[in-house]
Structures are given as structure tokens and as C-alpha cells.
Amino acid sequence: MKKIIHVMLAVFIFLNAYAYAMDNDLLDLRNKIFDESKELKSLIANSKNMLLLNNMWDSCVVAITQLDAYFFMMGVFDSVSRDNWNEEGVNYLELWLNKIKNTNEVNIKSLGNLPAGLEPQTQVRAERLKGYFSDLNDAIDESLDTISKLKKTVKSNK
């Protein structure tokens, strides 16, 4: 019985925290990066490019963790009454998204400077990840636009 209650509570928390994310592409991209990280993990043991694959896997984990933290922040933010929103909270969300975007830029740059002679599978994974990080930055730009509108609303309500 306790197990069922814990599972139901976990599902409730998950759905509540991810409610905002379901309105945009961030959750979809997070899941694509997560799936790619599983593929990378399975390739690491039998590859000549073990270190590179491990670094690519690490970058996936960082991106997933940063996005999860953002989703949880949005869950907290959404639980606050609209009358109590403040500029500081909105600024924090904006700063967090910019940090994710900066991390993605570093990942894109490093994936663009890979050495020659990589295994074909490693090269394909690197290109796919580069695309995911670029798409993620585009989705973050859309979220930043939404947050800037929210920021203007919060300022005007002062």
C-alpha cells in the first residue's frame, strides 16, 4: 500500500513540476537528449572513442539536469499566486535559461571541433547531439521571449 501511495505521489509531483514544460519543446528536447545519452552509454564500452563518447554522455547528463532544475523552478514559480510574482523570481528564471544556453554553446563548439578519424557511429552521435543542443537553444530563446513578456508584466504591476 505504501508503495502505491509513493508512486502516486511521485507521479503527481512529476506532472505538477512538468506542467509548464509540456507547453513547449523543452521537455521533448530533454527526452531526446536523455534517449541519446542512453545510446551513448551503450556504445562506450566497445568503442575506440571511449573518452569522447563519455564526454558526450556527460554533456547530455548536464543538459538533462539543468533542464530538470528549470522545470522544478517553473513548478515552484507556478505555485505562487500571480499577485505575488516578483521581478527577482523572473530574473532568476531568465538567468537559469541563459546559463543552460551558454552551456549548450560550449557543447556545440566542442562537438564542432572533433578530431578526424572518428568511428562513424561516434560521428553520427556527435552530429545528432549538436543538432539537439542547437534545437534546445532555439527553444530556450522562445522561452526567454515568454519570460521577457512576463518580466514586463511584473514590472508594470509594481
How does pLDDT run across 90-101, given as a tens digit for each residue?
888 899 999 999
pLDDT tens profile 109-126: 999 998 888 999 999 999
Candidates 129, 132, 130, 125; CA nearest to 43 is: 125
Overall domain count for the chain: 1
For 137, the domain range is 2-156
- The segments of the chain whose pLDDT lies below 50 read 6-12, 14-15, 17-22
- Contact in structure between 36 and 128 (CB atoms under 8 Å): yes
Nine-digit cell string for 104: 549548450
